[in-house]
Structure 1
């Protein structure tokens, strides 16, 4: 456990070092998961919210001392399969000002730009969420689902987030991500914001 905590400290220290670099000025480092199954080798998945940076700018320290020999690798260059739930708001308000068509266009572009091995699920929501397409690498199935979206009803945003995160329970090998396309606030969810956020954090999404 002490070693795991030390590794976590290393990652947090990387943010402190990065903060001295102007490229990181508006960035935030988030630890998404820690894998100790091959201890003492530890794999930490992080997310840098902010401008892209050069991996050469990443430094680690343990007990104040710089550590050599670690590997910082972009997720796309690893063997970790990426899972993404694409969540699209189809409530009645999305009929206004062409919002739904804009969301569908953005969703199509997102699917068209995915990597071959990325697995994407499609969820729509209005008064309640619906899983239209479960995880697949087939862009055709996803595009068919997107093209069929129509807007009506209320906005169960937090129910949709919670159900989307739950999809990863049957796919533990996927690195979880949830992308939401919506125009407004929740109106009818049985799930609270705090519960939806907690579910996402538990799934490291």
Structure 2
């Protein structure tokens, strides 16, 4: 990246960093193409990538063979994230933060990559939704990190045959010096994996319930 390019990137990120989270913004309307529906029915993860003003953004979607309630049991239990998310070496709900879908949930996690440990503080809040359920979140690192902030939402929609469409949207603001190609590649690989792991966890718990375990 040239010096003028780096300076422009820095100014862009500084301008966008102060934008507040629109906690009460209604859930976004999700319109799927026929091709996306076919891929979802085939068990694939659908990923829509986009670039924002200060990093990368996108939505990943997967069909889960579990009820909405079972899906949200996984999302709203951060204590168990460490059990099924790679690189997460610790996760916890903040004291007093109860996993209630109609209230705020404050939690944290510790991410370890190549021996470097970074802690993140996260706040999640339920958002208005006419169909399914939505919860918005904001993640802030405590310490040095190539990510300055991330925001996004979880959304679930009922599907045929008792399945649930799970949507994970992320908007990442990265450090000014990080090349666009690097953080977009990380988003392209990591975010579809995340929604798939949450879906598998919900399916596993659903099977255990059916088997009476």
**TM-score, structure 2 as length reference:** 0.27
- Between Structure 1 and Structure 2, which shows a larger proportion of strand residues? 2
- Between Structure 1 and Structure 2, which shows a larger proportion of helix residues? 1
Please say which structure displays the higher CA radius of gyration.
1
**TM-score, structure 1 as length reference:** 0.27
